[in-house]
Amino acid sequence: MASALCALVLLAALAGPAGLRLYRRPGAVTGRDGRLSTSTALALAWTLILVWLLVSILGYGLTAGGGVRYFDGPDGPLSSLTSVYLPLLGGPYVALIAAKTVVGMRVESGTLAKPAPRPTATGRRPLRELIANDSGRTDLVDLQYVVLSGVTMLYVVLFFLSDVRAGLPRLPSEIWALTGAPAGAYLVNKLATRANPVITHVEAADGLLTVEGGGFTEPRLTVDDTALPATADPATGALTAPLPATARPPFTVVVTSRGLRSDPYRYVPAG
């Protein structure tokens, strides 16, 4: 019991400052577009958990475990490190590196739009970005990656706390699939995502509609299925159009570019 409490204290000591630092300045877990990166956040979380496991086992071995002999033998506390835990960690890191490469190449070639999000008042990014696409809608692939990875992390943490003396929990080698398979689906989704235009913000004021986002090549702008004559700002790329007198918020804005349609953006006036 005492060893489990010590491990919990160590976990809090590692995760607390790291979480607070990222909450205040999330730059370490954001992508090139400024949004929270799912692959980066999960890879960082797995790294933190593995570091906690190793340090906790080291502390136990050098105190209550009896010293160096505690680590010896084929069934020692670190015996499953290379067969289970490194592959478990490898999936998220492969997804992280590959996703960054794929997205970078597609943005450079113009086959993917990654507009920067609007800055928040606090400078922090909403956690919902971990499971949402660039338009802010929930992405099923990102959601399953986060949920399955979270369940696996919880499995590892709870089994370790139930018997700290045994070292790394004896997980079945197939458990890497709970991170590897979702990571693979996440990467395939990055490859398969079409270069749809993306709407990040809509503003209506003084009879003028302003649509911010990216991927607006030869755009067609509609408000509740009514086409509007849109003009692109050469500096920002934002679209502007006169708002018909008949348009009453809330209304739905859609941009179509090169035959590809953006996610519908529901405009609701602030306040």
Whole-prediction pTM value? 0.79
How far is Cα 59 from Cα 75, in angstroms, rounded to an integer? 18
What is the three-class DSSP state of 232?
Answer: strand
Could you give the domains of the chain?
2-192 (no CATH), 198-267 (2.60.40.10)
Return the pLDDT at 65: 67
How far is Cα 235 from Cα 208, in angstroms, rounded to an integer? 18
Return the pLDDT at 71: 79
pLDDT tens figures, 250-268: 889 999 988 888 889 898 8
pLDDT tens figures, 59-94: 888 887 677 787 777 777 888 888 788 888 888 888
One-character DSSP codes across 130-172: GGB-TTSPBPHHHHHHHHHHHHHHHHHHHHHHH-GGG-S----
Is the distance from CB of 26 to CB of 124 less than 8 angstroms?
A: yes
